[in-house]
Structure 1
Amino acid sequence: MKSGKQHEHCCSYEETVKPGGQHDHPGHESHDDDDGHSHGEGETEGWMGHWPLLTALFAVVVMMILEYGFGKKFNDVIQLIIFIPAYLLAGYNVLNLAFRKALRLDFLNEFFLMSVATIGAFAIGSYSEGVAVMVFYSIGEWFQDTAVSNAKRSIKALLDIRPDTVDVIRGGKVETVNPSTVTIGEVIQVKPGEKVALDGELLSDKATFNTAALTGESRPDNKVKGESVFAGMINLNQLTEIKVKAAFKDSKLSKILEMVQDATARKSQTQLFISRFAKVYTPIVFLLAVLLVALPYFFVSDYVFQDWLYRGLVFLVISCPCALVVSIPLGYFGGIGLASKNGILFKGSNYLDVMTRINTVVMDKTGTLTKGVFEVQKVVAVGIDEKELLLFAAAIESKSTHPIAVAVVSHAGDVLVGVKIEGIEEVAGHGLTGVINGKKVLAGNAKLLKKFGVDYDSAVDEEVDTIVVLAVDRKYAGYITIADEVKEDAGQAIAAMHALGIQTVMLSGDKQSTVDKVASLLGIDKAFGDLLPEHKVDQVEALKKEGRRLAFVGDGVNDAPVVALADAGIAMGGLGSDATIETADIVIQNDQPSKIVTAIKIGKLTRSIVWQNIILAMGVKIIVLILGAGGVATLWEAVIADVGVALLAILNAVRIQRKQV
């Protein structure tokens, strides 16, 4: 809670929740700018955080004493003298803000309406009802303020888990310092159970980390020397040394936190509509209240000004659009928070809306549906021993850094000890040539053997996986197939998308036979292979011309043109890539395709709760407005309905963060 302050809940979303976890308040101890915003410093716990509630409760005590204690012993003047302090205590913030806005000629806002209504109640002698309006409003605002603060704190606590101190090795000694003072290249120590404060490279031989705060995945992540470690991970089992690779402010966690906070500034269409609606709605209601007081004079024979003024005041109180302009952005913020807990980062609440309308998901293959880690699937030796074929293949591929070469070397194991490797040359687009233990070896695709006039088995052309064909001393020696492993939850993700009525499409630069194999295995509707980046753009444009609303899922960097065309660009595995976080609209941090479905479900859940709030708020307001205009509802019913609806809507919005998806 901010000390001694109260949210300007009913103004507009800009005045309610600001990026970076800050709020604007009509406040006591703050300096206001020309927009009525207030800028408080820090957060204060304790009784000052409950000042609005305390003043309201004091006003209730005064009101109860006067109404049910000594009210009949005092005349109107004495009652007025006693009621006014109670009224000012409960309504100071509202009156102050209404006055400041009036100085800027802004009269059509709910604070001014609330002030007019309550002062009007005093004018017609309804002192207790005038005070009651401010009392219940203040109590309601306190509950709303608490709900908003808790919601924002839960998001901030989820992500802003950077330690305040870090142990750094300087001059052979361990010093405890602020992480922001550590420079790139320095070595830090992280004890078991401690959080990593800075991004870096693991210097210890091995370590195990809990990455739940970054990826939403609670399974321990085992790292070995040389691998990347990120701020926010928790060291689980041993003292670990890490070489710092990024400044504190540039860590992945800092970027993620900044992105989630900035997401509150990118509004959904529903929020934008409600903001525009409130600006039109408030002056219309004010005009209707004036007409409700004035017009009956010409049509009602027994017209009593005080009675119709009272009805107009009820009309003003119930017209306040608090429930809408607070609960709706809070609902979207709750959706962003729920997504963050599941390892999904939305760059704005507008993308929550976009995901509810998606009917086609277009996916890259490598790194999205497959692990992007090639493994040897099959070794076929012709005329030589299989182990010998693997030795020749591993020896020549050991001089290449291509993922396929790495897969072959890894599969062969420790076979290169004492092997003589000479004259390795690359034939662009074909493969490698060299001399291994005195024998001329060719390793590459079928075109390489054709180039050197080596005949090979027709089975080579029938393989659907990536293939390395070998020849030894100009004689065909066999081939090795390599394939990318499909992710464990890829099939589950595709099935879940189909259950939601979503069409699935795969685009890949791999050969069509390989793409067809993966598509068939996973049940993907359409699959296109042999594509260059510009061909992917053509495919996406063709889908959009069909009227498809689509999300594209890829690495967010190489597929930037396609991401830009898609209604929602989703990047897989954004944890290790700054460029991915910058490019995509939505980042799935743990590489799981099933999170695509989770993102869609969170979008739908958020929209459902937001529209529940809209229907609840507008339904109750219309009913009470009619009752107030008809003279049935009093100021008591008006304020209870207004505050009650706002509280119900906010509690409903907060419910999102507790949902399981």
Structure 2
Amino acid sequence: MTSKEGHHHDTCGCGHDHDHHDTCGCGHDHDHHHHDTCGCGHNHTHDGHSHMQEDHGQTEREESVVMPENVKKQVYILENLGCANCAAKMERQIRNLSGVKAATITYATKQLVVAADDPERLYPQIKKICTSIEDGVEVVPREEVEERKKEKKTESIYQKNRKSFQAIGAGAVLFVAGQVLEHMMPKSALIVVIFVAAYVILGAHIVWTALKNLTKGHVFDENFLMSVATLAAFAIGDFAEAVGVMLFYRVGELFEDIAVSRSRSQIMEAVDLRPEVVQVVTAEGVRSIPAKDAKVGDILMIRPGDRIPLDGTIVDGRGQIDTSPVTGEPVPVSVYPGVEVYSGCVNDQGVLKLEVKKPLEESMVSRIMDSVENAAASKPKIDRFITKFARIYTPIVVLAAVLTAVVPSLMTGEWRYWIYTAITFLVISCPCALVLSVPLAFFSGIGAGSKKGILFKGGLAMEALKDIKAVVMDKTGTLTRGNFVVQKTVSTGRLTEKQILTMAADCELASTHPIGRSVVQAAEEKHCKLIRPKEVQEISGKGIFAVFSEGTVLCGSQGLMEHYGVDVSGYQKEGYGTEVLVAVDGRLEGYLVVADVIKPEAKEAVGRLKRQHMITAMLTGDAKRNAKAVACEVGIDEVYAQLLPEEKLTHLKKIRTDHGAVMFVGDGINDAPVLAGADVGAAMGSGADAAIEAADVVFMTSSVDAIPEAVEIARCTGRIAMQNVIFALAVKFLIMVLGFAGCANMWMAVFADTGVAMLCVLNSVRILYSKRKA
């Protein structure tokens, strides 16, 4: 089996066509003593790369903001940021600063990330830009904000918005009083006084902000548009209308702020599982220290009900932990000394002692938090489109308002009617609902994924994932566990199965190969008494020749037996796995079947992908017999086996041509070229670090179930983002048409602005709570 044959179709009886190579091209025999990959003996890891670069995907990447490597980054929190459209303006201006390599603002987290050679030097300019665009915004380094949170008490909604509640309350009382007085004493001058007082209370801040922004060149902002609209209503004598619209606007703005704030905190609380303190076991007893001060090797005590603070290994105690906060898996997991556990999980029972393996900044809780924050900064195409659209939409609608006020009035003389219609257009022209509608949906989707142990590395990756047509998977480490287990022991001669296992394990005691180690482990689990051979010789690519006091033992492949002239007519080749034949003094006594274990959830997960109308395929460097057996067991549609890395890429391109956009899922071994060529690259959390670093999506649980779950979350997110955009535009357009026809008033226009924005926020957050089932 040293020559490489051409591709041909083979069938395993499961009704699918399987295309494969007969060898992997490395020149080795693929029976005993080769790992369940290409078997060439090299350590294959991923090269650093960006996904979606191949062919049609390059453009999308270039349009998005990519933080450059090896450039200093500074993270700020924009406190009091309340306008999504203003955030977009700030981002554009900060990017244009001299010395800034990249900058991005995530409205959902109020986070500004600046990449520059000296970001501290730019801090005064950044502050100036932010405060000039939205009054009251504070630019604070993230570290200071986190320190403040520890000291600051949690405020109620009323305490946070006390001034707004008071202004709205007083304005509402005066508005009602003016309305009552208007009906009782329609010609009283007191009516004007009451309405003016109400307007000052409700709108003075907005008008003042608009005037200040005008001096800075900001014409089409929400404050200016609302000020012009309501003051124009005053000018034409609609006092009640002007005050009522301002009141409705302030109420809508308040509820919108509360909804955004609540949704933001819900998402961050769901993913921020970082501990503040840990309980360290010392010679003097147990003491509390800040979590960031815990070091690798420290022993932590975890009581029942406590959250596991850092990644580590259990060294004392037994119990069960709830992994659902990290993995989404509701079934408790038993833990005991030697078991590795992730931070973020909750100890359900028993006092546990944990040896820290990773500090706080490298533990799972921090990785999830960083992933969510960084992912939110990667804007999908639809988000970038809406931001650009809003810059065009507002001036066009304002121009339409001016034309509506002037042109029909000159023709009909009905200035009051057309000016009123025009000012409804001004209110509708506010772009905040549009700009807010998309990023919050994607941020919610990223948060929903993190609750399930699925880390999306950006809105762009999620957007691409919702459109894939085929899922291509590696075998080892993806569909299988990646660890060999003795599946069966068969006796063909005088010896018992236990004796055969013991002899094979004796021969393999010195082996470092995964198959050899699995044989030794199986013997130890059955409490077999093992002895080392007097003499042992490894036959490269075939197996082991060993000498014991009782005689000689051959342990290895069929080729080894044939090399020593052993009759193997009593041996029947198994369908799946690697056989380890055992012969004593030249006579075949039996064999072991060693195989990688298929993940128990693989079959159901592949079924879910098919119900999502996905084509499933496997690309593997493993032998065709093993690949076909796994494919039949889990229900994979297409199988390509015994492939070199570059051959995997060829087949991936063929699958894309046949079916459409593809996602490749692997564990990082031999997969660099195919990951680079996929529309979306995904890595199992148990895989190579380089693959996890380079992947667009990481499945921290390493569960096959996470693949269809990620697809469903991405599709749900895409649907909700599109619903928000269509709903916002449709309502605005409808109110404009009704206003032009004389059937809409300014109250409806305010709903088209703040009301629609609030509904979009609520619609976005439901991703966190939706019951997804495919």
Contact 2:533–2:548 (Cα < 8 Å) also in 1: yes
Report SS of the residue matched to 1:203.
strand
Question: What is the match of residue 226 of structure 1?
Answer: 338
Q: 2:315 — aligned with what?
A: 203
Cα gap change, 1:377 to 1:525, in 2 (>3 Å): same
Matched, 1:59 2:168: no
Aligned partner of 1:8 in structure 2 is 83
CA distance in 2, matches of 1:80, 1:444: 100
Cα pair 1:446 1:460 within 8 Å, conserved: no
Which residue of 2 is the match for residue 333 of structure 1?
443
Aligned-partner Cα distance in 2 for 1:599–1:183: 34
Aligned counterpart for 2:471 among listed residues 330, 346, 361 = 361
Cα distance per residue 1:385-415 (max 9 Å; x no partner):
0332211111122322333223222332355
Return the letter of the residue paired with 2:423.
L
What CA distance in whole angstroms lies between the structure 2 residues aligned with 1:339 and 1:377? 35
Change in 2 beyond 3 A, CA 1:394/1:100: farther
SS in 2 for 1:167: strand
Residue 145 (structure 1) shift: 1.7
TM-score under structure 2 normalisation?
0.78
Q: Corresponding residue for 1:118?
A: 230
Which structure 2 residue ranges, 5 or more long, are not aligned? Answer: 1-76, 92-104, 113-126
SS for the counterpart of 1:631 is coil
Distance 1:404 1:14, change over 3 A: farther
Is the CA contact 1:216–1:341 (under 8 Å) kept in the aligned structure 2?
A: yes
Structure 1 distance, partners of 2:694, 2:715, is: 24
User: Does 2:769 correspond to 1:645?
Assistant: no
- Written as runs of structure 1 = structure 2, the 5 A alignment for 1:308-327 is 308-327=418-437
Structure 1, 256-265 or 161-170: larger mean CA deviation: 161-170
Deviation, 1:538, is 2.2
1:45 aligns with 2:155: yes
Structure 1-normalised TM-score?
A: 0.90
Deviations 1:75-113 (A, max 9, x none): 897655554453344335544553454333231333322
1:391 is aligned to 502
Instruction: Name 2:713's counterpart in structure 1.
Output: 602
Q: Is the 8 A contact 2:669 2:688 kept in 1?
A: no
Is 2:220 the partner of 1:108? yes
What pairs with 1:102-501 in structure 2 (closer than 5 Å)?
102-204=214-316, 206-298=318-410, 300=411, 302-385=412-495, 386-412=497-523, 413-417=525-529, 419-437=531-549, 439-457=551-569, 459=571, 463-501=575-613
Q: 1:469 to 1:572 in 2, by over 3 A?
A: same
CA contact (8 A) 2:386 2:435 kept: yes
CA distance in 1: counterparts of 2:320 and 2:194, whole angstroms: 67
Quickly say closer, same or farther: Cα 1:81–1:451, change in 2 above 3 A.
farther
Superposition RMSD in Å: 3.0
The one-letter code sitting in structure 1 at the alignment partner of 2:620 is S
Size of the aligned set, in residue pairs, is: 652
Matches of 1:591 and 1:4 in 2, distance apart?
Answer: 37
Q: CA–CA distance in 1 between the matches of 2:691 and 2:284? A: 38
Distance 2:608 2:263 in 1: 30
Task: Measure the CA separation in 1 of the matches of 2:582 and 2:343.
Answer: 46
Offset at 1:10?
4.4
Q: 1:530: how far off? A: 1.3
Distance of 1:383 and 1:505 partners within structure 2: 41
Provide the secondary structure at the position in 1 that maps to 2:478: coil
Check conservation: 1:489, 1:594, Cα contact below 8 A: yes
Question: Shift of residue 285 of structure 1?
Answer: 0.7
> 1:20 Cα deviation (Å)?
8.2
* CA-CA distance at 1:347 after TM superposition: 1.6
Code of the residue aligned with 2:760 in structure 1: it is A
**Distance in 2 (alpha carbons) for counterparts of 1:199 and 1:96:** 52
Between the aligned residues of both structures, percent identity stands at: 36
Could you report, residue by residue, the CA deviation over 1:251-280 in whole angstroms, capped at 9, with x for unpaired residues? 121011110122211122221211111111
For the 8 Å contact 1:323–1:645, the answer to whether it is kept is yes
Alpha-carbon distance change, 475 to 4 in structure 1, aligned in 2, over 3 angstroms: closer
1:364 positional shift: 1.0
Does the residue aligned with 2:473 lie in a helix, a strand or coil? Answer: strand
Q: Is the 8 A contact 1:252 1:578 kept in 2?
A: no
Quick one: which amino acid aligns to residue 740 of structure 2?
A
Cα 1:20–1:356, aligned 2, differ >3 Å: closer, same or farther? Answer: closer
User: Could you tell me whether the CA contact under 8 Å between 1:71 and 1:79 is conserved in 2?
Assistant: no
Match of residue 18, structure 1, among 73, 98, 106: 106
The match for 1:660 is 771
TM-superposed CA distance for 1:342, in Å, is 2.7
Unaligned runs of 5+ in 1: 25-29
AA paired with 2:630? Answer: V
- C-alpha distance in 1 between matches for 2:196 and 2:740: 27
C-alpha separation in 2, matches of 1:305 and 1:20: 43
The answer to whether the 8 A contact 1:260-1:346 is kept is yes
Task: State the shift of 1:580 in Å.
Answer: 5.1
1:380 is paired with a residue of what secondary structure?
A: strand
Q: Secondary structure at the match of 2:287?
A: strand
For 1:88-103, list aligned pairs within 5 A: 88-91=200-203, 94-95=206-207, 97-103=209-215
Secondary structure of residue in 2 paired with 1:527? strand
Is the CA contact (8 Å cut-off) linking 1:344 and 1:587 kept in structure 2?
A: yes
Give 1:305 shift.
Answer: 3.3
